[in-house]
């Protein structure tokens, strides 16, 4: 027999979790303004472009392929919390991430990711020893994600 227990996803994410700190500093106005025209992209309607952007940010932060991100979001309560899902909410398929990433574009992603990174650094949540990131890094990352997804499919 399995006991039924009422829990809140908010209670399952520790108050000290880095995703909470990121959420506090999340530049919601900048993200909404930057992504406004993408709200009507096919496949976005069920999730919303801002939610999908949060997925892409977690993908970049956690260094995950599209398929790894799909699984991460299915299993990680803090990731679900950060993206605004419930415990039992169905998360997107990996195939949607590359579509959204290419619709947003490398330059725009880089600008938005940099804004979040700068906010984290200003609050002392993150530090860098070296910074060599530019848009080509994101292009290389996107290519790497596609290659890893192909390799995982062929296994």
For the segment 119-145, the average pLDDT, to the nearest whole number, is: 65
- Whole-prediction pTM: 0.73
Domain presence at residue 142: yes
Domain presence at residue 3: no
Domain presence at residue 2: no
The count of domains in the chain is 1
- Residue 65 near residue 145, CB atoms below 8 Å: yes
For the segment 109-126, the average pLDDT, to the nearest whole number, is: 83
User: Which range marks the domain in which residue 96 is found?
Assistant: 9-154
DSSP 40-67: TSTTTTTT-HHHHHHHHHHHHHHT--HH
Domain presence at residue 1: no
pLDDT, tens digit, 9 for 90 and up, residues 23-68? 888 888 888 888 888 877 666 657 888 888 899 999 988 889 999 9
Q: Sort 91 into a burial class: Cβ within 10 Å, 0-12 / 13-18 / 19+.
A: buried
């Amino acid at each position: 027999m399995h006991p039924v227990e009422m829990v809140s996803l908010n209670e399952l994410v520790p108050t000290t979790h880095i995703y909470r700190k990121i959420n506090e500093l999340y530049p919601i106005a900048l993200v909404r303004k930057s992504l406004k025209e993408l709200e009507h992209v096919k496949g976005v309607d069920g999730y919303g472009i801002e939610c999908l952007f949060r997925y892409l940010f977690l993908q970049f932060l956690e260094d995950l392929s599209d398929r790894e991100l799909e699984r991460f979001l299915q299993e990680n309560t803090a990731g679900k919390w950060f993206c605004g899902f419930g415990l039992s909410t169905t998360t997107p398929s990996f195939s949607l991430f590359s579509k959204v990433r290419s619709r947003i574009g490398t330059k725009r992603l880089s600008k938005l990711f940099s804004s979040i990174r700068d906010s984290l650094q200003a609050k002392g949540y993150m530090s860098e020893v070296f910074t060599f990131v530019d848009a080509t890094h994101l292009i290389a990352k996107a290519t790497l994600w596609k290659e890893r997804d192909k390799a995982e499919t062929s296994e």
